[in-house]
Amino acid sequence: MGSKERILRLKEETRTSILDAALNIVQTEGWQALSMRKIADHIEYTAPIIYEYFPNKEGILLELTRRGYQILGKDIREARDKHDLAEDKMEAMWVAYWNFAFTHKEFYQLMYGVDMVCCTVKNSMAEAEQVSAMLGDVIESLFIKQPVSENDICMKYYTYWSIIHGLISINLVRPNGRTTDELNQQILKDAIKGITLSINS
């Protein structure tokens, strides 16, 4: 009978409806609000049936991660194919990556583990501002042309910090990647030198 296929199709439908519900909850209430019971509420079932479609909560997260990479892949591919020169390709691809991170914020958080918990009060902590003040002062002194605008300091500060924080994140998250310590140190120092040189040019 054809009912077999209909049932299979229905099962596939509730499977994706679980993923949709999860994404919906995350987009409206944030990652920390995502719970199995809440997903079950959205699809009008009880929590245990979710385990008929996914092994556990992480299974749902993993599938959403896959979805995210599919979207990201499509965006980057399209950006690449819009240009001929490799330089233009490169810039367009990274800009696409950048845009993906903000238009699909929740996906990016899931894919690259950008945690946003306990970051609300942290802004106005004296100790934190002291650190950025020290770095800002030295950056200011790097400029030959004085005085330096707050904007210029800020920009260079974020440039430094981005590449270093990025490198650290990557190495903390995937410590057994294909990069070595020497390679990382090389990238780090090259990047610092590059940014420092670019200040007065």
Which residues contribute to the site for DNA (CB under 7 A)? Answer: 1, 3, 7, 11, 14, 34-38, 44-49, 51-52, 56-58
Rg, Å, the chain Cα set = 23
Q: How far is the CB of 32 from a copy of itself (least distance, A)?
A: 12
Q: How far is the CB of 47 from a copy of itself (least distance, A)?
A: 20
Q: How far is the CB of 198 from DNA (least distance, A)?
A: 45
Closest to DNA by CB, 11 vs 193, is 11
The type of residue at 13 is E
33 binds a copy of itself (CB under 8 A): no
The CA distance from 130 to 185, in Å, is 26
- Residue 149 CA: distances (Å) to CA of 140, 154, 188: 9, 9, 26
Give the position of tokens 């229905």.
Answer: 10
Closest to DNA by CB, 20 vs 137, is 20
Given a copy of itself, DNA, none, residue 94, with its beta carbon under 5 to 8 Å by kind, binds a copy of itself
93 binds a copy of itself (CB under 8 A): yes
- Residue 189 CA: distances (Å) to CA of 129, 176, 182, 184: 24, 21, 11, 9
Of 14-22, 35-43, 44-52, 178-186, which part binds a copy of itself (CB under 8 A)? 178-186
Question: And the tokens for 153?
Answer: 């300091």
Largest distance between two CA atoms of the chain? 82
x/- letters, 43..82, toward a copy of itself (CB under 8 A): ---------------x--xx--xx--xx-xx--xx--x--
Of residues 147 through 176, those in contact with a copy of itself by CB under 8 A are 151, 154-155, 158-174
Choosing from 119, 124, 146, 147, the residue that interacts with a copy of itself (CB under 8 A) is 119
Among the listed residues 126, 167, 133, the one whose alpha carbon sits nearest the alpha carbon of residue 153: 133
Question: And the tokens for 128?
Answer: 């934190």
157: exposed, middle or buried (C-beta count within 10 Å: 0-12, 13-18, 19+)?
middle
Closest to a copy of itself by CB, 52 vs 58, is 58
Q: How many residues bind a copy of itself (CB under 8 A)?
A: 86
